[in-house]
Amino acid sequence: MPIKIPNNLPAVDILAKENIFVMDENRALSQDIRPLKFIIINLMPTKIETETQLLRLLSNTPLQMEITFLKMTSYMSKNVSEEHMSNFYKTFNDIKDEKFDGLIITGAPVETLEFEKVDYWKELTEILEVIYWKELAEVMEWSKTHVYSTMCICWGAQAALYYHYGIKKYPLKEKLFGIYPLKIDICHTMLLRGFDEVFNMPQSRHTEVLAEDIEKISDLEIIANSKEAGVSIVRTQDKRNIFIMGHLEYDRMTLAKEYERDIKLGKDIKIPFNYYPNDDVNKEPLFVWRAHANLLFSNWVNHHVYQGTPYDLTKLEEISNFQI
């Protein structure tokens, strides 16, 4: 089944060429079913590339979805046109009275900054449901009644864990950069249904969260980790909130582009771990995480969103076990 996305979004043509079924708004209006409503807070600098990556993965389900992209009004994107942002992105004020089945918060190129120093942090925390104490009750009310399940990626995951649970991030000695094997900690989890016991995940970050901090929080469970990459996937006990420290959404060449960018900027960056065959940057990287990326997003949409979200989204507030 297709995903419903805005008319004329650049990803439409890209995905159509890959034989991925997408449906524009005009065609979707003729179908008498309720699509799942997803909102994506895209904080990545490569807006169009990230849009395409996430839509590609979300399309791999038998469900129709309606996708809304959200921008931070306090930050002007430097890598995409103002016209693109105006045409395809909404603000928090535009959508705060709507209800959604799923929310995705991407990574952001600001992870070495303290959270409070990020320009759009105050606005982001309102959407996440956490803000300073005097505003906490109002924002908690919004999220409890407007979103069913959330997936946070990389910096977005660290940010959510910090504000929901006070879990800090710590700087790494050097950037964690490459493809790392992960081991499943909890075998019987629907999010990782069908996964191999060991699977690969791209990582590209300067910071980490620690297992001992997460284990102190009874509401959180670590479901995948590795010796090299540390904590990699965390969920809440009600299974409605997922925190992913890596980038399963990345394409084959995303790490290569990041590596080439940093080399041009004169940064001290190592060749991505376990990425290029024989560490030869002239060889095409093997795409060894694609199957698990598709499976994870499909499992999340089906088991963590579709199977639990009410048909009538106005009844979200009646679900008693909602947490963050």
259 found inside a domain: no
Give yes or no for a contact between 275 and 282, defined as CB atoms under 8 angstroms apart: no
Residue 39: CATH number of its domain: 3.40.50.880
Active centre residues (catalytic): 154, 247, 249
Give residues with Cβ within 8 angstroms of 267, minimum separation 6: none
76 pLDDT higher than 90: no
What pLDDT sits at residue 101?
94
What pLDDT sits at residue 122?
59
Give yes or no for a contact between 129 and 143, defined as CB atoms under 8 angstroms apart: yes
pLDDT tens digits for range 178-229: 999 999 998 788 899 899 999 999 999 999 999 999 999 999 999 999 999 9
257 found inside a domain: no
320 pLDDT higher than 70: no
pLDDT tens digits for range 153-184: 998 888 888 878 999 999 999 999 999 999 99
Structural domain range at position 33:
3-252+289-318
Q: Give the number of C-alpha atoms closer than 13 A to the C-alpha of residue 67, restricted to the C-beta side.
A: 30
48 found inside a domain: yes
Number of separate domains in the chain: 1
Give yes or no for a contact between 106 and 127, defined as CB atoms under 8 angstroms apart: no
278 found inside a domain: no
55 found inside a domain: yes
Mean pLDDT for the stretch of residues 270-287: 97
Q: Which residue has the tokens 């080399």?
A: 263
284 found inside a domain: no
Alpha carbon distance 159, 155 (integer Å): 6
153 found inside a domain: yes
178 found inside a domain: yes
174 or 125, which is more confident: 174
285 pLDDT higher than 70: yes
Mean pLDDT over all residues of the chain? 83
What pLDDT sits at residue 51?
94
Alpha carbon distance 275, 73 (integer Å): 36
Confidence of residue 136 (pLDDT cuts 50, 70, 90): very low
322 pLDDT higher than 50: no
What pLDDT sits at residue 139?
36
